[in-house]
Amino acid sequence: MLSCISAGIASLGFAIIFNVPKNKLLGASLCGAIGGLVYDIGLTLNYSQSFSLFIASVALAITSEILARIIKCPSTIFSICALIPLVPGGGMYYTMLAIINNDINEALLTGIDTIVQACAIVIGVILVSSIFHSYKKIEQLRKGNL
Amino acid sequence: MDGNKLAKTITKAGILLIENGAEIVRVEDTMQRIAKAYGAKVADAYATPTLLIISISMPESTALYHNIKRVHMKNVNLSKIDEVNTLSRSITNSNLSLDELDKKLDEIALEKNYPTYIIILGAAICVFGFSFFFKGNLIDAIFALIIGIIVKFILELLAKIELSSFFNNAIGGAIISFLAMIFAKYFGSNQDILFISSIMLLVPGLAITNAIRDTVSGDIVSGIARATEAIFVAVAIAVGSGITLALLGGII
């Protein structure tokens, strides 16, 4: 619950930094909160960190696509701000720390882990946005055929 | 319809999108949509984070009109992306003339970002949230908030003197790790949490996202360009904070 609220707050902050229009700030915050919530649920269900990040980003992407349909604006406005709390900043820090301490094995381990996590997040979002895009195309095709 | 003028207006829209951090598919789609809306027969748009090419032909003549523009990436401003996107979709419905579109694009380009103190406030809120997200307590959060305000303030100052972004990020990383060390040593806060939550202000989240997104949708050149950008931002942060940690690790 705490990570849900805190991810929401963090996304709100990033939405301000990225100049999201005032009436859409709360939407970005909501997407971030859902991302944080699902990530936490994934971790308590003992999923691996990368997989938790993946389902979290799928959840926040679905929310942002739905919000984008309702408010009529690009979904990236919400999804980008909401993604940032999930970006593995901690992994980057520990990788760097290991490099400074000349511990190359540790650096490689955490570094690759970090890259996998970053990819998991983005692939989740892209998956959802491609599905929504294809769905729109299918709808158009169906209307064209009728 | 004047093809030259159309080509110029289309590039204007494309530049606005790239400068403010839109993904390449959106940029190319928007440019083609505008061209088609004004009756261009052939409309090819090619965009990368640094270069923009448009080539159109009008139905009344056989001539091709081109425009090539060098683009420099600037601050991320998602609201401008939103506005250009909405504007380009509304052309056919609202019978917008080319002159009006041109004027509206100029207006969007001149729109101001949020004032600096709001941006700094945003950074503070953001870092405050992060420190709870990374399982910190209230004391950590308050120290992180102070770091966030200081770092964002300095970064805004550095942006004014147009230092290269590599050194901007290196200095940001250095300040964050320095302050995190001080707060951890003398005020009993958790150094790792302080560092991780405030480093999120610098982490190239948008660049990573756009890099993978561009690559997946087939814009490989842009994908590589943005991945390189992301890697070097990460390296810059690591250099800045690494030097500070190594230098002061023995002293503080």
DSSP letters spanning B66-133: EEEEE-------HHHHHHHHHHHHHHHHHT--HHHHHHHHHHHHH---S-HHHHHHHHHHHHHHHHHH
In a shared domain, residues B93 and B55? yes
Q: Do B79 and A21 touch (CB under 8 A)?
A: yes
Q: Could you read off the pLDDT of B32-90 as tens digits, one per residue?
A: 888 888 888 878 899 998 899 999 988 888 888 889 999 887 778 888 888 888 888 88
The answer to whether residue B125 neighbours chain A at the CB level (below 8 Å) is yes
Which residues does chain B have within 8 Å of residue A127's beta carbon, measured at their own beta carbons?
Answer: none
Smallest Cβ–Cβ distance between A96 and the set B76, B134, B241 belongs to: B241
Tokens matching residue B196: 């991780």
Q: Are B47 and B32 in contact (CB under 8 A)?
A: no
Determine how many CB atoms are found less than 10 A away from the CB of residue A87: 22
Smallest Cβ–Cβ distance between A17 and the set B123, B131, B216 belongs to: B123
Statement: residue A146 has pLDDT above 60? no
Tokens matching residue A48: 């691996």
DSSP code for B50 = S
How does residue A4 score in pLDDT terms, banded at 50, 70 and 90?
Answer: confident
Statement: residue A145 has pLDDT above 80? no
Beta bridge partners of A57: none
**Amino acid residing at B222:** S
Q: Could you read off the pLDDT of A101-113 as tens digits, one per residue?
A: 888 999 999 989 9
Q: Which of B33, B82, B232 to mutate to test the interface with A (most CBs of A within 10 A)?
A: B82
How does residue B164 score in pLDDT terms, banded at 50, 70 and 90?
Answer: confident
Q: Could you read off the pLDDT of B212-225 as tens digits, one per residue?
A: 888 888 889 999 98
In a shared domain, residues B139 and B208? yes
pLDDT of residue A38: 92
- Residues contacting B73, CB < 8 A, separation 6+: B18, B19, B21, B49, B50
pLDDT of residue A52: 92
**Domain termination site, one of B60, B84, B110:** B110
Q: How far apart are CA B169 and CA B206, in angstroms?
A: 15
Domain, as residue range, for B212:
116-248
Q: Do A18 and B77 touch (CB under 8 A)?
A: yes
In a shared domain, residues B122 and B237? yes
In a shared domain, residues B191 and B205? yes
Q: What sign does the dihedral B155-B156-B159-B165 (CA atoms) show?
A: positive
Statement: residue B112 has pLDDT above 60? yes
In a shared domain, residues B39 and B157? no
Number of structural domains chain B divides into: 2
In a shared domain, residues B34 and B121? no
- Residue range A3-16: mean pLDDT, rounded: 87
- Collapsing DSSP to helix, strand or coil, B45 comes out as strand
Q: Do B132 and A6 touch (CB under 8 A)?
A: yes
| B residues 13..42 contacting A (CB < 8 A) | 21-23, 26
| B residues 201..240 contacting A (CB < 8 A) | 201, 203, 205-206, 208-209, 212-213, 216, 234, 237-238
Pairs of residues, one from chain A and one from chain B, whose beta carbons lie less than 8 Å apart: 153
How does residue A89 score in pLDDT terms, banded at 50, 70 and 90?
Answer: confident
- Residues contacting A56, CB < 8 A, separation 6+: A35, A36, A38, A39, A42, A86, A121, A124
pLDDT of residue B106: 87
**Domain termination site, one of B110, B134, B152:** B110
**Domain termination site, one of B110, B141, B169:** B110
Supply the ipTM of this predicted assembly. 0.81
Q: Could you read off the pLDDT of B168-192 as tens digits, one per residue?
A: 889 999 998 888 888 888 887 778 8
User: Domain limits of chain A?
Assistant: 2-145
pLDDT of residue A109: 92
